[in-house]
Amino acid sequence: MEISITSRETIKPSLPTSVNCKTHKLCLFDVFQLNTYFPLILFYHKTSDMKGFSCVSNQLKKSLSETLTIFYPLGGRRGDYFSIDCNDEGAIYMEASVNISMGEFLNPPKLEFLNQLLPCEPNKCHSYQEVLPQLLVQVNLFQCGGIAIGLCNLHILLDAYSCSAFLKTWFAICKGSKEEISWPDFFSASSFFPPRNTFGVRAGMLNINKDSNVEAKCTTRRFMFDSKIINELKAMSTSDDTEPTRYQIVSSFICKHMIVACMNGSCDQTRPVVALHVVDMRKRMGEPFSKGSIGNLLWPALVLLEDVNKNTNIIDLVRVLEKELGKLTKELFLKVQNDPDFLWSDECAQLMLEGIATQNPITLVFTSWANMGFDKVDFGSGKPLWLAQRGGTKETIPNTVVLMETKEGIDAWVTMAEKHITILENDMEFLRIALLNPIVSNI
């Protein structure tokens, strides 16, 4: 199998950015992000009206140019630690050909080749001094006429919600449905949560896990949880005082088995284990953040997990997770907004498990891209038939999980050190619930 790059160009905004918008100020949470790209790949059937690929690609490029005028910071470059210079340098747009059909590629998905559908290496940690494009796109054409659109989004400006808003706008313009545009708000995040001098901030806030910047040779695996299985897990995890969400159930189940895999593959079983759940602040804060606010409006919910083993009940992990998520209220985020000393406070230190940070914990990171609308974005070829994240074996940050909604249920993209992922994918109790990289249906 071969994936060959056939063209590469820079797409600039269709109109120059106004003088008043030439500098985009990052928010407090943007500056906490690693200088890295997070990936997304969307697979589409051949366009129903039988347009040629060159016509489709031209329309994608034209509409991308118009979208960069609306999402103008994406056409810029980082000016300094706290801002983006909206200088209209543009986004990178690439085209590639794949010498097999999409059906061959997805039955089952060839995870080891997924990264070749992306325009750059995903999740690689770059130096903050390195000036990078905010957005790179690679449009891949399969022999059957199917298309996979791979995006790499620089995390210092976009989170998953922001990426979804961008995609909805780009694809709405592409198919001529401008009433579907998701208009961005670039001002609320930085005005409510401006960057601050974080020198001396309490341990944990800037560097929750000392190992978080240490990349290891890791492999990414996809596990699918179908809706029937999730409902069974939910029935097992529901009680009079617990009504868990799909995310809480699936992440708790995965968490248990990741811990078992890490402990079985480690000679040091005394290290504490912390699960970090990335929480979107928008819904908890309400307006104006719930209406198109762009930026990394994310907060880490840290959960200390003690004495977890193969006999641990999932409902116990769900209860602990519910308790910690319940602490992340609008009132808490208003304290962050209004009290410049909050990041140095004892309350923040407790939330960030300051005492545990000195013990070099094993940290598992969970994030959900469900309910973001990625499965509905249509550039004129219908809704995507499948969404993917990343694959292959490479140097990256270990013990991360991304949950993505599918037609069948939830896909979990699990990245671990090779020796640990091998234990996980041979865990029969885990595989009784989680399907290892099944075929993609309805191709």
Q: Are residues 188 and 216 in the same domain?
A: no
Q: Are residues 325 and 416 in the same domain?
A: yes
- 62's CB contacts (< 8 A; 6+ apart) are none
Q: Examine residue 202 and state whether it is found in any structural domain, yes or no.
A: no
Q: Are residues 167 and 236 in the same domain?
A: no
Q: Examine residue 442 and state whether it is found in any structural domain, yes or no.
A: no
Q: Examine residue 75 and state whether it is found in any structural domain, yes or no.
A: yes
Q: Examine residue 305 and state whether it is found in any structural domain, yes or no.
A: yes
DSSP 314-374: HHHHHHHHHHHHTT--HHHHHHHHH-TTGGGSHHHHHHTTHHHHTT--EEEEEEE-TTSSG
Q: Examine residue 205 and state whether it is found in any structural domain, yes or no.
A: no
CA 132 to chain centre: 19
Per-residue tens of pLDDT for the chain, all 443 residues: 899 999 999 999 999 999 999 999 999 999 888 899 999 999 999 876 556 888 999 999 999 999 999 999 999 999 888 999 999 999 999 999 999 999 999 999 999 999 999 999 998 888 888 999 999 999 999 999 999 999 999 999 999 999 999 999 999 999 999 899 999 999 999 999 998 766 555 555 544 434 445 678 899 999 999 999 999 988 888 777 778 899 999 999 999 999 999 998 666 677 899 999 999 999 899 888 878 899 999 999 999 999 999 999 999 999 999 999 999 999 999 999 999 888 888 898 888 888 887 788 889 999 999 889 999 999 998 999 999 999 988 888 899 999 998 889 999 999 999 999 999 999 999 999 999 999 998 77
Q: Examine residue 428 and state whether it is found in any structural domain, yes or no.
A: yes
Q: Looking up tokens 């957005």, which residue turns up?
A: 135
Total domains, the chain: 2
Secondary element (H or E) of residue 103: helix 102-105
pTM above 0.75, yes or no: yes
Q: Are residues 44 and 77 in the same domain?
A: yes
Q: Are residues 270 and 415 in the same domain?
A: yes
DSSP 10-38: EEPPSSPPPGGGSEEEPPTTTTTS-B-EE
Examine the fold and report which residue of 192, 221, 238 is the final residue of a domain before the chain moves on.
192
Q: Are residues 96 and 122 in the same domain?
A: yes
Contact (CB, 8 A) for 343 and 201: yes
Burial 319-356 (b: 16+ CB within 10 A, else e): bbbbebbeebeeebbeebeeeeebbeeeebbebbbbeb
Q: Are residues 240 and 181 in the same domain?
A: no
Q: Examine residue 103 and state whether it is found in any structural domain, yes or no.
A: yes
Q: Are residues 281 and 319 in the same domain?
A: yes
Q: Are residues 298 and 409 in the same domain?
A: yes
Examine the fold and report which residue of 130, 165, 192 is the final residue of a domain before the chain moves on.
192
Q: Are residues 145 and 40 in the same domain?
A: yes
Domain containing 393: what range? 210-370+381-436
Q: Are residues 145 and 261 in the same domain?
A: no
Q: Are residues 222 and 321 in the same domain?
A: yes
